[in-house]
């Protein structure tokens, strides 16, 4: 059992987060239902379908760590007669993360709902409240592990093990809530600010039957701020600053930077995005700069494609820099470009 604990600790150091910590996406606004439940239905259309894939530590592992997410949500008018354009959002998201070193798998499915309340008669400000409930399953393949009592002394690890291993499959329910404020400034400008509380019941995530306090999934508080700042009078070029922080247990992660958007074509329905930002983190060994991020995106009417590359500055070897690659695709149905506020990437 001690060997399992040591191996889990090694993987935790490798990922800069323990199993009691959360996933994260570099393109966090491309996975809005994972970012904040209040962003469910916050879109420039009637429905949205998105895919996101993350590949990391390929230079270290023969089979890299892979994270995949898919989500769908829709927005419709709130029932009853309203002078303002109140709306309701409903969403479903799925997520899978696989750590191949020990064949550790995490699978989540969640349902979210949000209410978007218009704060003025011109529908230039909205306050959104969201809630999400989900089910998570975690498993590990003990067949991929080897222990000292399995070594036969000459040819390899051929014997059975006497280690007392716990069950290798658990599941638990999880709940998140969030709030988000959006405001339109001038003709093209906008600001977005939100807070979310994840895992507020702190579910038990231990594989062992006799659990301790450290076996819980810590609550996470996250905050997001973004803005759209037009740099030209016709909004052909705009600046999109982004800031995200997340606190979970003793860990702190921040993402700070900006994207720039260049509209193309006669009507500006196609646009290119370029961006860069930094990711400072605080772990048990103190505060440090974890990664430098570069992003490129293509916006074509109701389709948004994003690609990002993380250069990790905390290399395992001095001459080997580690990197993560991420790609996302978002499709908006019944696109309404000028009617609803929504942050991108």
141-172 core/surface letters (b: 16 or more CB in 10 A; e: else): eeeebebeeeeeeeeeeeeeeeeeeeeeebeb
The residue whose two tokens read 């430098």 is 292
In this structure, what are the phi and psi dihedrals at residue 141, rounded to the nearest 5 degrees? -100, 105
H or E segment at 7? helix 2-15
For the chain, the distance separating the N- and C-terminal CA atoms, rounded to the nearest angstrom, is: 42
Write out pLDDT tens, residues 243-299.
999 999 889 999 999 999 999 877 767 999 999 999 999 887 788 888 899 999 999
**What is the three-state SS of 295-339?**
EEEEEECCEEEEEEEEEEEEEEECCEEEEEEEEEEEEEECCCCCC
pLDDT of residue 101: 72
Q: Evaluate if residue 300 carries a pLDDT over 70.
A: yes
From residue 248, alpha-carbon distances to 15, 39, 65, 179, 191 in Å are 15, 21, 22, 18, 26
pLDDT of residue 253: 94
pLDDT of residue 12: 45
Write out pLDDT tens, residues 258-269.
999 999 877 767
- Using DSSP bridges, classify how beta strands 169-185 and 189-198 pair: parallel, antiparallel or unpaired: antiparallel
Sequence-distant (≥ 6) Cβ neighbours of residue 146 within 8 angstroms: 157
Q: Which two tokens stand for residue 87?
A: 């709306």
Q: Which two tokens stand for residue 154?
A: 């000459």
Q: How crowded is the C-beta side of 326, counted as CA atoms within 13 Å?
A: 27
Write out pLDDT tens, residues 75-133.
998 987 666 789 999 999 999 998 877 788 999 999 999 999 999 888 899 999 999 99
H or E segment at 33? helix 32-35
Q: What is the mean predicted confidence (pLDDT) over 15-24? A: 51
Q: Evaluate if residue 11 carries a pLDDT over 70.
A: no
Q: Assign 323 a pLDDT band (cuts: 50, 70, 90).
A: confident
Asked if 31 and 69 count as a contact pair (C-beta separation under 8 A), the reply is yes
Partners of 175 in the β-ladder: 133
75-88 core/surface letters (b: 16 or more CB in 10 A; e: else): beeeeeeeeeebbb
Domains identified in the chain and CATH numbers? 2-333 (2.40.160.40)
Residue 138 CA from chain centroid, whole number:
18
Q: What is the mean predicted confidence (pLDDT) over 179-207? A: 93
Residue 234 CA from chain centroid, whole number:
33
pLDDT of residue 72: 97
Q: What is the mean predicted confidence (pLDDT) over 131-152? A: 82
Lowest mean pLDDT among 35-39, 247-251, 309-313: 309-313
Lowest mean pLDDT among 11-15, 94-98, 327-331: 11-15
Q: Evaluate if residue 4 carries a pLDDT over 80.
A: no
Q: Which two tokens stand for residue 68?
A: 């995949």
Q: What percent of the chain has pLDDT over 90?
A: 51
The residue whose two tokens read 């038990």 is 204
Q: Give the span between the Cα atoms of 119 and 128, in whole angstroms.
A: 10
Q: Give the span between the Cα atoms of 121 and 134, in whole angstroms.
A: 35
Write out pLDDT tens, residues 229-247.
999 988 899 999 999 999 9
Q: Give the span between the Cα atoms of 96 and 35, in whole angstroms.
A: 16
Among residues 323, 243, 302, 307, the alpha carbon closest in space to that of 273 is found at: 307
From residue 179, alpha-carbon distances to 6, 46, 140 in Å are 39, 21, 35
């Amino acid at each position: 059992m001690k060997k399992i604990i040591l191996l889990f600790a090694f993987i935790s150091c490798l990922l800069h987060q323990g199993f009691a910590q959360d996933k994260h996406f570099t393109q966090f606004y491309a996975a809005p239902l994972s970012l904040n439940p209040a962003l469910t239905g916050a879109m420039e259309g009637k429905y949205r379908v998105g895919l996101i894939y993350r590949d990391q530590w390929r230079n270290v592992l023969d089979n890299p760590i892979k994270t995949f997410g898919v989500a769908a949500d829709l927005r419709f008018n709130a029932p009853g007669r309203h002078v303002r354009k109140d709306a309701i959002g409903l969403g479903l998201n799925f997520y899978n993360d696989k750590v191949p070193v020990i064949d550790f798998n995490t699978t989540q499915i969640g349902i979210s709902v949000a209410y978007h309340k218009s704060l003025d008669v011109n529908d230039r400000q909205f306050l959104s409240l969201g809630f999400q409930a989900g089910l998570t399953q975690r498993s590990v393949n003990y067949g991929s592990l080897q222990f000292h009592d399995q070594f036969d002394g000459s040819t390899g690890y051929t014997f059975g093990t006497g280690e007392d291993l716990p069950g290798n499959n658990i599941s638990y329910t999880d709940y998140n809530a969030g709030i988000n404020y959006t405001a339109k400034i001038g003709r093209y400008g906008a600001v977005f600010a939100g807070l979310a509380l994840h895992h507020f019941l702190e579910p038990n995530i231990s594989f062992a039957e006799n659990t301790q306090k450290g076996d819980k999934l810590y609550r996470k508080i996250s905050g997001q701020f973004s803005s759209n700042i037009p740099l030209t009078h016709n909004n052909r070029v705009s600046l999109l600053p982004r800031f995200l922080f997340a606190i979970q247990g003793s860990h702190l992660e921040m993402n700070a930077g900006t994207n720039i958007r260049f509209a193309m074509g006669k009507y500006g329905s196609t646009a290119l995005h370029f961006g860069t930002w930094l990711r400072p983190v605080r772990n048990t060994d103190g505060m440090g700069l974890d990664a430098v991020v570069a992003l490129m995106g293509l916006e074509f009417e109701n389709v948004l494609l994003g690609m990002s590359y993380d250069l990790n500055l905390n290399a395992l070897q001095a001459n080997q820099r580690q990197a993560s690659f991420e790609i996302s695709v978002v499709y908006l149905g019944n696109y309404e470009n000028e009617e609803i506020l929504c942050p991108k990437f």
